[in-house]
Every structure is written in structure tokens, then in C-alpha cells.
Amino acid sequence: MARLDYVFTSESVSEGHPDKVCDRISDEIVDLVYREAKKTGVDPWSVRIACETLATTNRVVIAGEVRLPKSLMKIDKHGNEVINPSRFKSAARRAIRDIGYEQDGFHWKTAKIDVLLHSQSADIAQGVDRAADVDAKGSNQQAEGAGDQGIMFGYACRETPELMPAPIYYAHKILELLAKARKSGQGEAAKLGPDAKSQITVRYEGGKPVEVTQIVLSTQHTDESWDSAKVREVVEPYIREALRDLPVAKDCAWYINPTGKFVIGGPDGDAGLTGRKIIVDTYGGAAPHGGGAFSGKDTTKVDRSAAYAARYLAKNVVAAKLADRCTIQIAYAIGVAQPLAIYVDLHGTGHGVGEEQIETAIREVMDLSPTGIRQHLDLNKPIYAKTSAYGHFGRKAGRDGTFSWEKTDIAQKLKAAALGR
């Protein structure tokens, strides 16, 4: 039986954290490729991106495998078609500038940027482009296959309005408000730096979040005279605003810049790499994770697209009031279109329906092949830079197609299928 009274902690990191700088650059490149495909009339289904970024003191390295529109290529001195690095360097500089890095050790103007992208492996491409998918009756049909093997998880619960676990939801919210205040250029918050981390401990009673018992925040600042007390004076109003829907305990322990001065930050203080904040990106440890990162990948990579689909389905299960908590696992094999298995866990919170019924209903309401996911959620768009910080889940679906997996538009259809109506 699940515990009902306990404390749980999750952390978040800001857009200026070294790893998040790399996630942002990688996702800006995904967006660049999709945008260029649309602009030049290239079929967006044909592009491929698997882009990793490394950042350290005034240095950025972009590497990976791609299949690009011709407009992002050039002819070298030997007459060979090669990737044109200039557009990718510009995308990286714009991202660094938008985040706010103009410090001696990491500056959007002066950082050296190396672009080491190359063409996607033909061996991988053949499995993704034309997968021989064997259906339950044993017949073959050609379909777009999964870009890799793997397991992906989706999760939803009733702890917050966006059906996310409370600790990660509020940890993100704190840093979002601080970033907005910093970028406004007004007041003392303008002296905060881009690099920051938050951590929230929430006490649960009867399985529901009731109060915050510990708050940890470390944030970069540009004024070298600031000590921990001064930083707390500046940031506490924003923390309390972020937590206004969840009480702060009277004896809450506050740890604000506990090591003291934090002036040197970002990639100058610590190297960054794409894909190292996968728990921050998802559910803050409140749900399982399959291990695959999201940023820098086009949506043939089921690490990304199927994780979005799993969240979408879990959120619709909870929105349909079929359960108060829902975890969904989806498993794939490289080059095979349809998932090998679907697993649902309602954690004993189901309302008149069992896991097996929902597993069957899921296959009825949504095609979970990479093609089906990309079509259903309309993923072949330049919508990914916004996902690179403050979580891929628990965000508002936008009119531009961003966070389409946060919609609850199939809740009633899923409910009808699960209940056999």
C-alpha cells in the first residue's frame, strides 16, 4: 500500500544552468532545421536531427548526425556537399544572448563555436524511413520506424492545476519568475545572473501536498558585495509568489546561496552538456524515467516523441477522471513502427476501470507509431526551444503548436473506449 504521509523533494535548474544552455542550443538547431524546411518547401518528415552540445569557458561544440534541407548545406573547395556551419553558429549565439550571458568567461559575441555535425548513418536511416512493421495478424506493411529502442514513461496526478507533481511544478515556477524579473531590467532582481538552481521539499498528508518544509535556492549575481542574506532579501518575494497556492511551513528551512558568493556561473563555472537534466525535464523523480534525453532530437526519436505521447495519454486519463494518478510505459524497438508493449499503473486510484481496460483503450484512440504520434500531436514544427528550460511537461499548450501534448482533448474519447461505451 502506498504511503500517504511523507515528504518529497524535487529540483529545477534555470535556463542559464550550463546543461540547460546546451539543451537550448540543441533545441534551437532542431527549430532551425524545421523552420528552414518549411521556408524552402522541403518535406519536414524527411529531416533528421540528433544534436549534442558541449559548453565550457568561452567555447561551444555542436556535434551530431543530421539530414538537412539543401539551404543549410554548401559546396566545399573539393566540390563536395557539406554542412554550412554559419547558420548553426548564429543560432547558438542568439540562444546565449537571449539567456543573458555577457560575462568575460562566457559571452555570446566572443565564445568560439565549433560545428561538427555530419550526415545521419545510412544504417540507421534505412530502419527509420522504411520499417517493416508486423501487425498482430502477421502481415507486413511499410511504416516509419522508431529511431531507437527504448522505454518511455508518462505521468499525471491531481496535485496541481496542470496535473503535475507539486515539488517539480513549484521548483520550476520559482526559477521562471526569477528569470522574468532578471530580464525585466528593473530593481535589484536585474543584478541576478542567468545561472540558478532551486529545490523544494513538500510535506504530504493523506497523499496530498499540504506545505513546503524546505526551500533551497542558489542563484548567480553580478554584484560581488552581495552575501547570502542580501540574495534572500531580493529573491524571497518571488519565491513566495511562486508558492502562493501551497503554504510555506512556519518552521520551513531556507537555504539561499548557502555557499555564499555566486558570481562566476554558467559554462565558465562548470561545463555543460545536452541531456544531463532528464529528471528536471520530466517529473522531478516522482515517476519513472526511461533514461533517454529529449533536447536536440527530431521526433522520429521516440525518446522524445513517445515520452510526449505517454505524458499526453496519462494526462488525459487523469483529466477524464478515470484515475487520480497514472503512469504509462511504452516500449519500442529500432526500426519497428508500433510499440512492443504498453503498461499502465493507476496506483490504486482508478475509478471504475482497470489498467487492462485503459491499455486497450490507448491503442484504440491513438496510433503510437512515430508517424502516428507526430501527426496526432503535430510535432513537425519549430516548437522545441521553449521546451529546453523549466520542464517539458506541465506547461500551457500554445496557439503556435508548442506543448501540444499538454492538451486534454481526447479525455472523453479515452473514457468512452475504456468503459466500452
- Active site positions, annotated: 17, 19-20, 52, 65, 197, 262, 270-271, 276-277, 297, 301, 303
Say if CB 282 and CB 25 are below 8 A apart: no
> Nearest to residue 338, comparing CAs of 313, 381, 302?
302
**CA 116-119-122 angle, 5° bins:** 145
Burial call 370-379: b when 16+ CB within 10 Å, e when fewer: bbbbbebbeb
Q: 263 to each of 60, 97, 103, 223, 227, how far by Cα in Å?
A: 21, 18, 10, 8, 11
Distance (Å, rounded) from C-alpha 24 to C-alpha 26? 5
> Nearest to residue 309, comparing CAs of 318, 299, 319?
299
Say if CB 196 and CB 276 are below 8 A apart: no
- In DSSP notation, 155-190 reads EEESSSTTS--HHHHHHHHHHHHHHHHHHHT-SGGG
Distance (Å, rounded) from C-alpha 72 to C-alpha 285? 39
Say if CB 53 and CB 25 are below 8 A apart: yes
Report the amino acid identity of residue 94: R
Three cell numbers, residue 279: 529528471
Report the amino acid identity of residue 122: A
Three cell numbers, residue 384: 522545441
Say if CB 350 and CB 323 are below 8 A apart: yes
Burial call 36-68: b when 16+ CB within 10 Å, e when fewer: bbeeeebebeebbbbbbbbbbebebbbbbbbeb
Distance (Å, rounded) from C-alpha 388 to C-alpha 86? 22
